[in-house]
Structure 1
Amino acid sequence: MRLRRSPAKSSTKPIMYTLGVLLPLLVLVLALLSQDDQPLALKADGAAPIREPVVAEPAPASKPRYSAKQRRAVGYLQTAMGHFEAQKWPLVVEECEKAIAADPDLVFGHALMGNALNVMMQWERAADSWRKATELEPTSFEFYYHLGFALSQLAQDQVNNQKKHTIGKQAIESFETYFTLAEGDSDATTDQMSLAHASLAAIYKTNKLAEKQELALSHFEAAAALDHTNELAFFNIGLLYAEKYEKRGDETDLENALRAIEHAVTLDPTNTKYVAVRDALVGHSSPAELMAAMQQL
Structure 2
Amino acid sequence: MKIASLFNKLSVIATGTLASILLASTAQAGLNDLRGAWINVDENTRGITKVVIGGEGASATLNTWGACHPSDCNWGEVAAMPLASSVSASPLSADRIMAHYSKSHATSLISAYMHGDALIIENATDFNDGRTDTFFRYTLKRMPVSIPPILMPNPILPLLPLLPVSPIETNLEQMEGAWMNIDDDTRGVTKIRVLVNGSTVRVKAWGSCHPTDCNWGWTQGIPLTASVGADPTSAERIMATWDQGFAKRTMVLKRRGQKLIAEMTTVYTDGRSDRFNTYILR
Classify the TM-score, shorter chain. under 0.3
Greater strand content: 2
**Which has the higher relative contact order, 1 or 2, with Cα contacts under 8 A spaced 6 or more apart?**
2
Greater helix content: 1
Larger radius of gyration: 1
Q: TM-score, normalised by structure 2?
A: 0.26
